[in-house]
């Protein structure tokens, strides 16, 4: 009942979905032709998921369009695996091209954050090969309210035996 009278795009589409896919689908529907797209949607629980959708027009004997038939498949796992492989390759390239750990850390935290959709990412290492762990670099999504957390993380040090927050 909650979706009666509504178009699927009104409640399924994520704001970060590709607007080009919506335009392509609308154009194909207006031209009464079939199409295949992959797009990001919302589940009724709010969870995001990827679908592959094939839509074909159905015509009656007189050649008049009567409706469209759609077949959808959840491809979330495949998309995530593709994203992970892409991220692994990018990380490998960063490590291979870097002249130092510091340079690699800076580029890695940014790429990981962006590639995984994280708000904050940090690179931690042992300080002077000693017993304390310190943050070598932090990157954060500037659109997220995490500036203070990132600043505190950057200056944080943990000594051996000291528990991390939340443990």
User: Using one digit for the tens of pLDDT, what is the confidence trace for 88-97?
Assistant: 999 999 999 9
Which residue in 23, 33, 35, 36 sits closest to 65, CA to CA?
Answer: 33
pLDDT in tens, 18-48: 778 888 999 999 999 999 999 988 887 888 8
Evaluate if residue 167 carries a pLDDT over 60: no
Mean pLDDT across the stretch 80-89? Answer: 94
Q: What is the pTM of this model?
A: 0.66
- Written as one string, the DSSP assignment of 43-80 is -TTS-EEEEEEEEEEEE-TTS-EEEEEEEEEE-HHHHH
Mean pLDDT across the stretch 127-140? Answer: 84
| Residue ranges of E strands in the chain | 35-42, 48-59, 65-74, 120-126, 132-140, 157-159
Looking at every residue in the chain, the average pLDDT score rounds to: 87
């Amino acid at each position: 009942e909650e979706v009666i009278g509504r178009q699927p795009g009104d409640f399924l589409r994520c704001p970060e979905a590709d607007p080009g896919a919506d335009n392509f689908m609308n154009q194909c529907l207006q031209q009464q032709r079939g199409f295949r797209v992959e797009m990001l949607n919302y589940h009724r629980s709010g969870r995001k998921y990827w679908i592959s959708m094939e839509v074909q027009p159905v015509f009656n004997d007189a050649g008049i369009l009567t409706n469209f038939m759609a077949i959808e498949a959840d491809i979330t796992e495949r998309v995530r695996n593709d994203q992970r492989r892409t991220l692994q390759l990018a990380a490998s390239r960063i490590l291979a091209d870097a002249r130092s750990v510091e340079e690699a850390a800076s580029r890695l935290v940014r790429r990981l954050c962006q590639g995984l959709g994280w708000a904050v990412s940090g690179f931690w290492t042992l300080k002077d090969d000693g017993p304390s762990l310190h943050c070598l670099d932090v990157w954060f999504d500037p659109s997220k309210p995490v500036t203070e957390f990132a600043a505190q993380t950057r200056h944080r040090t943990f000594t051996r035996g000291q528990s991390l927050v939340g443990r």
